[in-house]
A and B are shown apart, each in its own frame.
Chain A
């Protein structure tokens, strides 16, 4: 049996990819990915059209995709996150078919159920053997966990593994098993290691960010959840990471050991594991080389699948055991609905990722964001796009006050008693408007260009074409 195929074009032929089919990619190579662009370019050169891409995320490195959207090589997109470059083209209406946005947990659930069918999955693997056993933990393009690729491998009709680091059979570390793999292609490079490491894994030095991080750590300290066995997740923004650092200090002082940290894993969370603040890390994606190295070497640092992380269809997922999560927002409204899909001009520059999943599962969901960003107020009457519904969001931390969701009166009273600057969200909104002046909202909108599917499968919002 020989799974090795000589080139991308050849594997596309052998897999009998046809017009109208759906292909998939994971995003673990982040802004250093070469695979998606290489495969789509080959598809274009073979004269194929009307292909749908289901990529767990689309980054700015995938800008060449735009040309193929224009030429209708690709006519459908499904993802959990889309960066601003592709986002701008989509928002301006380059695709006729609406983009389907899901959450990180919703994507594997729909792939599993067949709702989101994949004809050919292309799995970039930093290390693989000729039978298709592969992992992200080893190799010059190592990216760590392959969490978002499992559902594709397990449920796509055909699976192609692409690697720039082919090792003899059997692979020493196996993340995805050969039992799912049809073809293996060796490339010169699957990606650029410099781009694989995320740009947002530095603690903020901005005093406003540090102030908010300090408030966030105090909210956790007074939430009643700060005790042995606590579990924690944080986004990769500068202020969120600073909050993790402050939390670490508190946990060490009070000699508290948590159960696990979850997420997008950075060196800061690895530090917390090594300092004994937590017993384990549940890793669905690695953001930097410290995380990759820890995954490789520490038995308490576990690679988990996206399904295990957050699938609403699983019997239980990790988010169901999550105590505290710290997340960001481009906008939040007075009902605590959060937007991380678009900016305030309606342009797509993000997506739920794990945002709506973690908010739904956690006991305490905290949003950290500055009250005003370049004259734009954070708090709206209604967000431009609902990513995460307000009933799953508990606390908003800004530099001018902390708002607690009225559905958490117990938490509100505890935080007031702790001397924290608890303020009604409407008052924070007024404070911001006093600083910025009253903005004119009301964008000229065209047709819907994207559907936002909440983790329960319902359509929670749509994103509209921005007309110039």
Chain B
């Protein structure tokens, strides 16, 4: 999927994650802020990367502001942001 425009998903409520996605010229730039970065930073990165792989996104600039979201929530919000920002390559 190609990221064509900026999009956001999620909220700043506790247990949610705010995802901000924008087009990028080269590669994936992922910036993660999290209240549980020490404990779950690696898992969050993994969830984000796997979701990007699943939707075949190779170029994007993504910022996550995580308030302790569970893995399923992170994946859901990233997927929502991707779908809002791109259109499926036919």
The A-B contact count (CB < 8 A) is 37
Complex CA–CA separation, A345 to B38 (angstroms): 8
Does A441 lie within 8 Å of B67, measured CB to CB?
Answer: no
Q: By DSSP majority rule, is chain A's interface helix, strand, loop, or mixed?
A: loop
Q: Which of chain A's residues have a CB closer than 8 A to the CB of B35?
A: 374
For A344, give its contact among B39, B42, B43, B67 (CB under 8 Å). B39
Does B67 lie within 8 Å of A437, measured CB to CB?
Answer: no
Instruction: Give 1 or 0 for each of A415-448: 1 = CB within 8 Å of chain B CB.
Output: 0000000000000000000011111110100000
Q: Which of chain B's residues have a CB closer than 8 A to the CB of A443?
A: 38
Q: Which residue of A lies closest to B36 (CB)?
A: A375
Chain B nearest Cβ from A372, distance in angstroms: 8
Does A374 lie within 8 Å of B36, measured CB to CB?
Answer: yes
Q: Which of chain B's residues have a CB closer than 8 A to the CB of A344?
A: 39
Contact-residue size bin, chain A (C-beta under 8 Å from the other chain):
10 to 19
Does B40 lie within 8 Å of A373, measured CB to CB?
Answer: no
Q: Which of chain A's residues have a CB closer than 8 A to the CB of B71?
A: 437
Q: Which of chain B's residues have a CB closer than 8 A to the CB of A376?
A: 36, 39, 68
The reply on B30 being an interface residue by CB < 8 A is no
Does A441 lie within 8 Å of B68, measured CB to CB?
Answer: no
Does B39 lie within 8 Å of A440, measured CB to CB?
Answer: yes
Q: Which residue of A lies closest to B69 (CB)?
A: A375
Does B14 lie within 8 Å of A374, measured CB to CB?
Answer: yes
Complex CA–CA separation, A373 to B35 (angstroms): 11
Knowing A345-B38, A375-B36, A376-B36 are in contact, say whether A437-B43 is a contact too (CB < 8 A).
yes
Q: Which of chain A's residues have a CB closer than 8 A to the CB of B15?
A: 374-375
- Give the interface of A toward B (CB within 8 A): 344-345, 373-376, 435-441, 443
Give 20 A-B contacts (CB < 8 Å), ordered by A residue. Answer: A374-B14, A374-B35, A374-B36, A374-B67, A374-B68, A375-B15, A375-B36, A375-B40, A375-B69, A375-B70, A376-B39, A436-B70, A437-B43, A437-B71, A439-B36, A439-B39, A440-B38, A440-B39, A440-B40, A440-B41
